[in-house]
Amino acid sequence: MNVDISQTIIRIAEIIINELKLEDVTPQTFDPDLDLVDEVGVDSMDLATIALVLRDEYGIRIDEDDYPKLTTVRIIAEYINTKLADDE
Amino acid sequence: MADQGAENREYKFSEIIADPAIRARWEKVRKYFFLRESTYDMSNRCNIRCEGCYYFNGEKQFAEENLHVADWKKLMETEKERGITFVVLAGAEPSLVPQLCQTCYDVIPLGCIASNGLKVLPQEIDYRIHISVWGNDQTSLEIRKAKDMLARQIENYRNDPRAVWVYTFTPVNIDQAREVTELLADNGHQITFNMFSAPVGYNGHLRHTPQTLAHTRTTMSALLTDFPQTVLFSPYNIMAHTHERGLHDLFSCSYPRMNPSTDIGLGRSFRQYRTDLQWDRAAACCVPDTDCDDCRHYAAGSAVVTARMYRHATNPLTFSAWLDYVDTYLAVWVRGYEKSTNLCQEMIEPPKI
């Protein structure tokens, strides 16, 4: 499956905004290169919650050891697209 | 109540939390995901000296005491700035330095104090207070060299909603847990359970064996069944803490001492300050100097099991067990949080990775 990364980025941003109840930002205005930990304040439990929603959405497993690597929306999008490509 | 036969197929997370009871509990506990803890040794003194004491092992006992309120205030303000929202004041006996506890409370109002309960902490310090109990008063006299401990603890903290007793199971006090629980129940108090976890190098008679772990498991189960209003625990707590494999082996401990990652979670934010207000990443965990292979400590589980949400979100039963664990953790550690009825009555195995 060849997924357009910009669509994935928008969808991940939407999930993060919903799960963290972020205000004053939309999926379109969410900077995909923001550091989720340092600049958005995401902690491990937030990330685990986001990972579960992504698991539902994309049907992929996110290894717990991979969490620390998932530092931006863009990196998460690339991670998901790679997983989806691997599953093809 | 979770579906008892639902673990055999793959579930989406949205399916798991579609169960109204699970969703309600999930929404209840996730409000507390903002808690970020660190721990602090408050004093290098104690008014009793117990065999196997976690504080008087290793190097931390030799750190110089800093009794300057201004220094503690500055430390707490710095901690708050770096995102710490929950403090655990322990070692050796925090009630001996109430002015420092008050200073912590004034800056970070969520927290817990581990105390032997022999000296009352001022009411103004509205943290949870964990009062340690290691058996009946005869055993306490033998191991802790203190007379009438439980009677004095109960008198000191009568009708005090801050207090929860923490019963540490050792191989020699398992059968005394019932009389202690009964006494606390009669006095309207609550109790939770801890497991003696050997300090590094300790090979004394308090180290658990497979037989004493099994005996502890059946004892905890009976007490949880017989005293549901008094015992703050769940079947999954019992499973996790009496398993022959320790917490690190089961769940991969996320404290810095065992976790090299500084990217996110405890590995990033947790510090364990000594009485000189210094900390050492290589030694940073909730109970430094514990033999990690033997660690079944209640404080460790509260962070380590709780952090492993993702691996428990596989089916309603396993996720319910995890929710019970988190619900127990919050009830034990956070003032004002009320424990709900456990969702999962089965004692399920921790998920395999």
B307 touches chain A (CB under 8 A): yes
pLDDT tens, residue by residue, B258-293 = 788 887 777 788 889 999 999 988 777 777 778 889
Give alpha helix (H) positions in B245-341. 247-251, 266-269, 298-307, 309-312, 316-333
Give residue B260's pLDDT.
80
Which one-letter amino acid corresponds to residue B137? D
Instruction: Choose the closest CB to B310 out of A37, A51, A68.
Output: A51
Which CATH superfamily hosts domain B31-228+251-290?
Answer: Aldolase class I (3.20.20.70)
Which CATH superfamily hosts domain A5-87?
Answer: ACP-like (1.10.1200.10)
pLDDT tens, residue by residue, A2-53 = 568 899 999 999 999 999 889 889 999 999 999 998 888 888 889 899 999 9
The answer to whether the predicted template modeling score (pTM) of the entire model surpasses 0.90 is yes
Instruction: Choose the closest CB to B311 out of A46, A56, A64.
Output: A64
Q: What would the two tokens of residue B188 be?
A: 């309207």
Query: Mutation test of the interface with chain B: which of A15, A36, A43, A47, choosing the one with the most B Cβ atoms within 10 A?
Result: A43
Between B178 and A87, the higher pLDDT residue: B178
Instruction: Choose the closest CB to B13 out of A44, A56, A71.
Output: A56
B82 touches chain A (CB under 8 A): no
- Measured between CA atoms, the residue of chain A closest to residue B30 is A45
**So where are chain B's domains?**
31-228+251-290
Q: Which residues, in sequence order, are CB contacts of B78 under 8 Å at separation 6+?
A: none
By DSSP bridging, strand B86-90 and strand B37-41 are parallel
* E strand map for B76-162: 86-90, 111-115, 128-133
pLDDT tens, residue by residue, B76-88 = 999 999 999 999 9
Q: What percent of chain B has pLDDT over 70?
A: 98
Judge: A49–B309 Cβ closer than 8 Å, yes or no. yes
Judge: B310–A37 Cβ closer than 8 Å, yes or no. no
Helix (H, G, I), strand (E, B) or coil at B352: coil
Distance from CA of B319 to the nearest CA of A (A): 12
User: Residue A69 pLDDT > 90, yes or no?
Assistant: no
The complex's ipTM works out to 0.84
